Structure 1
């Protein structure tokens, strides 16, 4: 059977997925791998274990007589770099993007390269320490100069996985463009600070095409260049949807993508957790973030404790119009300091005791979250598009989707059920079908 193989590497689960020629999943394998720690004791991905896992799984797939692998691609989480020595072995741990960035080094960087806001606007990247993967290279250069000198090439994680599969070292736009501080959205090239530090010389070349032929024994396999996971999840929508839209990718973070926005980012947007991404072709995407899933889970736990109900009580709560009409205390967030459209520290607590039931409190939690989301969507030009697609966990939340459809009555609002949008995007990008349409995974929400 002819298949396209996609290695989808998440922080928690590592998996491969096999698609047939109609992009239906015919096989998958998922496994979670234990973490390790870096030299400072900070938890991180075990790069040796991950390397072996990918190599073993790929070898088994290539040898499996059931499958004729015609194409392969990778999607993986971003803001993570693998530094290879002259013999193509990792030189360092895969440092976590959650690792704190030293304050003194940050001061050194900005005293050399100027105003943080200006740099962030140019690179479409809010200043986020190690989450700006370019800053990881800067940190390595000045913290471990001897190791930095030994780096023969640096790859973002999706491209490192691709290297393990094909032996080819490349950079791709989606990884370079995801809040890395490496890319200038003014010059459409590496930012000047990257060139002054010589960091661009460590990075593998960016290639203009979207795929190449990888030869395994006497057979050619079409290979992509690897993709940043969030950008990969956007691809099926960009291929199937003909009119301008915004995609809400919901989970722990709600990341909102508008790939039709053309205006340069402003400092006002930047201060409210907006950023730029790049498509695989190198065009810009404007995005905003909201820590919606984390806030949801935190407040659900409070509601469950106060009303002495099961932690997953909310899964059985049906939409109730009358509950939403009641006067209630204002909603205050607990998990959004430093992120989202209102990053200022919040000193007040949402008063759950004002509600008569867990059901009532939950309705008003979702109402409060959607009102924050409306602001986040305004920041990326929601009124300049015609459609909204909701992907991820909140697409299955009736209260959430109803409120969205009511608020955006001039838009078409759709909920999607694409649990493998990231993998599907990687498969579509490497195989490049002339057309692609969703089957039954999408339905319109009626207010």
Structure 2
């Protein structure tokens, strides 16, 4: 039998289950998708009952499997989501979706008590006030649904609720509290005063380190049960554990999020930077982050280019960086793309594509998008002295993106990784006693170094 750590990695769409051996190699995987259900207001939300049933079924089947000996289990999930339990441990409400609109009167009444807004956002490391701040959900429940709120014994962030399903122990931990919840005062390193004034701290369980685990007898088997971890913080953990020098991580996809886990200035100096937010490491240390809707904008603009030039929708994948094309565009550079999901002061009032070939237009697009990415990275770095950049996710394989980025940051060392296991692997590592060395990323993440191109 192989000794393994089990991890449930719960995204908004895909729900995955992994087994990792002692060297953190994936030895088993399965996944499922659930149709969303609707809350009492008709807003789509997670089918919590179906998720819970699947968790238990999958785990009990694995415990019976003859080839695996499960020693530990942990949970990585998306953030900004609370599960509210009554005194019997029963779920009181739907898992309210963080996309659910928050009544403006609630936000107004909150800011009248605890504003001004800019100062509050700065202290709590948030970009705005809405349901994406899970703390605001508690305030909303207290004043919009007092009959429900009065029955809450514990409110658990989703990773900790999944742990609770198996352990029965209600806990809080740093990475979930620190993910734009509006609960944490980063200057005080404690819950914000509003949490205590509203008495909300009474329904938030004891805070423990994310590395905490509970040794339990589960169905007759001794198993170490982790307390769960927020997925973004989990994805960052393998880097933090294996790299000794200061670095930033640019995690790319639909959203491109730049993490600076070594910042000495976690709260943005410019309170109007709505795309700068904070996360927390597993020990409670702040991570400054900046976000950019890069993959979404890329998808929109590439689709338009495909139609304009009449090429197949996968044609963009074949375009490689060409220095001569870059040079011609760069020597008299003008912004030509009007973004649809990103706001930038440099963009024109409408898109103009004066090029004859797809390749030229695609180079223009990538030069502009990487320009946005550079601004986002610089926000996360701030005044910190950081010489190493790691890029993972979808754009780590985009030739133009990497060459342009490494060219701009030619005073830094840029490396790409294939972190497809990302948050799941981080969840396994967070409850492991095993030390990671500098070779871990090369061995497990297909680490590649990139040199800037030479200007001719």
Q: TM-score range by the shorter chain?
A: over 0.9
Structure 1 CA distance for aligned equivalents of residues 354 and 347 of structure 2: 19
1:405-435 CA-partner distances (Å, limit 9, x unpaired) = 1111111100101200111111111113123
Between Structure 1 and Structure 2, how many residues are aligned? 441
Secondary structure, aligned partner of 2:258: strand
Cα offset, 1:347, TM superposition = 7.0
Secondary structure, aligned partner of 1:305: helix
Structure 2 CA distance for aligned equivalents of residues 35 and 149 of structure 1: 27
Tell me which residue corresponds to 2:356: 356
1:168 aligned onto 2:174: no
1:364-392 CA-partner distances (Å, limit 9, x unpaired) = 11111111111111112266111100010
Cα offset, 1:58, TM superposition = 1.6
Structure 1 CA distance for aligned equivalents of residues 404 and 146 of structure 2: 53
1:334–1:349 Cα contact (<8 Å) kept: no
Tell me which residue corresponds to 1:155: 156
1:75–1:423 Cα contact (<8 Å) kept: yes
Alpha-carbon distance change, 272 to 377 in structure 1, aligned in 2, over 3 angstroms? farther
Tell me which residue corresponds to 1:325: 327
Tell me which residue corresponds to 2:136: 135
1:329–1:354 Cα contact (<8 Å) kept: no
Tell me which residue corresponds to 2:110: 109
From 235, 245, 248, the equivalent of 1:246 is 248
2:166–2:225 Cα contact (<8 Å) kept: no
Cα offset, 1:56, TM superposition = 1.4
Within a 5 Å distance, the mapping from 1:51-66 to structure 2 comes to 51-66=52-67
1:269–1:379 Cα contact (<8 Å) kept: no
Cα offset, 1:325, TM superposition = 2.0
Q: Could you list the structure 1 runs, at least 4 aligned residues long, displaced by more than 6 angstroms after superposition.
A: 344-347
1:427 aligned onto 2:428: yes
1:111-170 CA-partner distances (Å, limit 9, x unpaired) = 111201111111111224000110011111111110111111111111111111222211
Structure 2 CA distance for aligned equivalents of residues 27 and 200 of structure 1: 39
Normalised TM-score (structure 2): 0.93
1:117–1:267 Cα contact (<8 Å) kept: no
Structure 1 CA distance for aligned equivalents of residues 90 and 347 of structure 2: 46
Normalised TM-score (structure 1): 0.95
Tell me which residue corresponds to 1:312: 314
Which runs of no fewer than 5 residues in structure 1 stay unpaired?
Answer: none
Structure 2 CA distance for aligned equivalents of residues 168 and 307 of structure 1: 58
Secondary structure, aligned partner of 2:91: coil
Structure 2 CA distance for aligned equivalents of residues 428 and 130 of structure 1: 30
Tell me which residue corresponds to 2:284: 282
Within a 5 Å distance, the mapping from 1:198-237 to structure 2 comes to 198-208=199-209, 210-237=212-239
Most deviating of 75-84 and 324-333: 324-333
2:258–2:377 Cα contact (<8 Å) kept: yes
Structure 2 CA distance for aligned equivalents of residues 387 and 269 of structure 1: 27
Alpha-carbon distance change, 35 to 286 in structure 1, aligned in 2, over 3 angstroms? same
Tell me which residue corresponds to 1:443: 448
Tell me which residue corresponds to 1:118: 119
Structure 1 CA distance for aligned equivalents of residues 219 and 36 of structure 2: 34
Structure 2 CA distance for aligned equivalents of residues 318 and 250 of structure 1: 19
Tell me which residue corresponds to 2:340: 334
Most deviating of 429-438 and 260-269: 260-269
Secondary structure, aligned partner of 1:260: coil
Most deviating of 195-204 and 172-181: 195-204
Alpha-carbon distance change, 263 to 166 in structure 1, aligned in 2, over 3 angstroms? same
How large is the Cα RMSD of the aligned pairs? Answer: 1.7
2:276–2:290 Cα contact (<8 Å) kept: yes
Tell me which residue corresponds to 2:373: 373
1:100 aligned onto 2:101: yes
Cα offset, 1:210, TM superposition = 2.3
Tell me which residue corresponds to 1:28: 29
1:334–1:346 Cα contact (<8 Å) kept: no
Tell me which residue corresponds to 2:302: 300
Secondary structure, aligned partner of 2:96: coil
